[in-house]
Structure 1
Amino acid sequence: MTSVAETNHPRTAAELLAVSPVIPVVVVDDVEQAVPLAQALLRGGVGIIEVTLRTPAGLAAIERVAAEVPGMVTGAGTVTSPAQVHAVQRAGAQFLVTPGSPAGLLSAALNSGMPLLAGAATLTEMMTLAEHDLGAMKFFPAEASGGVEFLKAVSGPLPHLRFCPTGGITTANAADYLALPNVGCVGGSWLTPKDAVAAGDWGRVEQLAREAAALPR
């Protein structure tokens, strides 16, 4: 397996999917948590992080991780507006994750030049992203949208597309998704449990990352 230190910064969405079996989806409440959290993930062998903009600390957390944890591929998640695209790019984000792909947001994200995991939950949305030369995308919300069986069905008419399913992914079902030929990785929040982060239990985060990095795909 390629080590985190050897992983080049991804230039495309397809390369993002290859960094780790799991992309941690992280909600940061206190910006001071961001760097030690990212360092714990990195020690566990997970060299990619999606810091969401769901809290006021999100943007500053992206800036801190991007500046202070150079071995980490740092992305911005829950990006929902063109203004946020510009803000996270200035903060040093290396990739974007959106929950959906409306025209204005998609245009801004593509124009940023950053790798993009745009969200799609239907065949039409997936085909629309493919028309923009996006062959890898986020499948969200995965479990609520049909889960593993839906992606199996999608592989028939759209065998060229690859996905990062996110939403309802846990240790119990991650391997089922990763076994699919059209899944490159999954997104999940279980690597950074809220209680562990609040307590600064970085050893627990590191161990969860180590387990995630060892998932077969």
Structure 2
Amino acid sequence: MAVKKGGALTPLEVMDDAAVIPVIVLDDVAQAVPLARALVEGGIRMLEVTLRTPAALRCIEAIAEQVPGAVAGAGTVRSEEDARAAAAAGARFAVSPGYTPLIGAACRQAGLPLLPGVSTGSEILLAQQDGWNELKFFPAVPAGGTAMLKAFAGPFPDVRFCPTGGVTAANAREFLGLPNVVCVGGSWLTPADAVKAGDWGRITKLAREAVALR
């Protein structure tokens, strides 16, 4: 799928671009641009940079400004302030570990498509009440894995998921084989040792393998 050069994306466009959205944790801004370029070279363009470190927003800003082929997004969005700060840094989508209407409203106001985190039927209903039908199933493996997603398919046939949390190269195909799963999220594309060593070739190889999962 072609990535829009500018303007708002839909949550489904974020999910449908590749089989895997990498979950990225960066402590050093200097690593952001070469890491993003390595992933884009491997065919992965939707990049979820988690707001778990003091450097995260600056990393998003660097990727947005210096890697034209990448679509920088913000993960671990936990508040209205996170959503606004992510948008100001240049993020083009947001991912949250859970969901509140305040987060949803802040993302809409900031023009960020959101993948809200859910793990129960009540959480899915809450997200759907606010118009979100493309959701992050988190934490996927501890919350029931593929069995839970199969169970959700009955009462929620209009919902599409991105399972994240315990998803690996070894089990990704099992998740991706479900009709209500569009993509998965995972940290295995950006191993900490490879990032620390600047082994960008390894990361490009992992990205290509991830693209081939679909």
TM-score, L = length of structure 1: 0.95
Tell whether the 8 Å contact from 2:101 to 2:130 is kept in structure 1 after alignment.
Answer: no
Counting matched residue pairs gives: 212
2:42 aligned with 1:8, yes or no? Answer: no
The whole-number CA distance in structure 2 between the counterparts of 1:114 and 1:107 is 10
Deviations 1:58-114 (A, max 9, x none): 110000001101111110000111111111111000001110112322221232221
Residue 125 of structure 1 is matched in structure 2 by: 123
The whole-number CA distance in structure 2 between the counterparts of 1:182 and 1:146 is 15
Which of these residues, 202, 206, 210, is aligned with residue 212 of structure 1?
A: 210
- Percent identity over the alignment? 53
Where in structure 2 are the equivalents of 1:1-217 lying within 5 Å?
2=1, 6-8=2-4, 11-216=9-214
- Paired amino acid for 2:163: P
Deviations 1:116-153 (A, max 9, x none): 10111111111111111111011111011001000000
Deviations 1:151-192 (A, max 9, x none): 000001111100000000001110000000000000000000
CA RMSD of superposed structures (Å)? 1.1
The whole-number CA distance in structure 2 between the counterparts of 1:80 and 1:7 is 26
- Paired amino acid for 2:90: G
- Paired amino acid for 1:64: A
- How far residue 8 of structure 1 moved from its aligned partner, in angstroms, is 2.2
* Local SS of the residue matching 2:142: helix
| Structure 1 residue ranges without an equivalent (≥5) | none
- Paired amino acid for 2:139: P
TM-score, L = length of structure 2: 0.96
The whole-number CA distance in structure 2 between the counterparts of 1:27 and 1:172 is 21
| Structure 2 residue ranges without an equivalent (≥5) | none
